[in-house]
Structure 1
Amino acid sequence: MAIVDVECGECGVALQVDEAEMGSTMTCPKCKLPFFVEPAGAYGLVEDPPKRRGRSPRAASDSAAVDPPETAEQRRIREQMERWAGSEDA
């Protein structure tokens, strides 16, 4: 049978599988999570598909961290520290 390029839907690793495996579920050899076997780039996606979050320490480091908005107390402390740092430079 023919060999087909696929990607793990969980971690994005590129794999080559036998065409007979298309439409089945297999376990990724890298992340050890099950994924549905379909051709790489299926559905005409332009961007990478979203990855599961919180499944492994590596997955957590891959996702972009978003800082919460600064509170009034945090802003007051930051401004005070900036004033102190400015007075040391003088």
Structure 2
Amino acid sequence: MDILVCVGSSCHLKGSRQVISAFTQLIKEHQLEDRLTLKGSFCMGKCSCKGISVKVEDDFYSLIPEDVEKFFAETVMGRL
């Protein structure tokens, strides 16, 4: 399953690097490297959202760095 994190200007300023780092750590902790692929993406057209644009499969989400762990547990792990 692919997880795309926007690294465009707006999301970069909102903390996309922190989100990517948190996802990377969680994927390693749960030993899911063979089931999840984390990718950076340029603008997804959701810049008006409060947080960083994240796409899991065909669904878009808006995350702040502090919410990544909860999102991972509920949304990502829930799809595996």
Q: TM-score, normalised by structure 1?
A: 0.27
Q: Which has the larger radius of gyration?
A: 1
| Larger helix share, 1 or 2 | 2
| Larger strand share, 1 or 2 | 2
Report 1 or 2 for greater relative contact order, CA contacts < 8 Å, sequence distance ≥ 6. 2
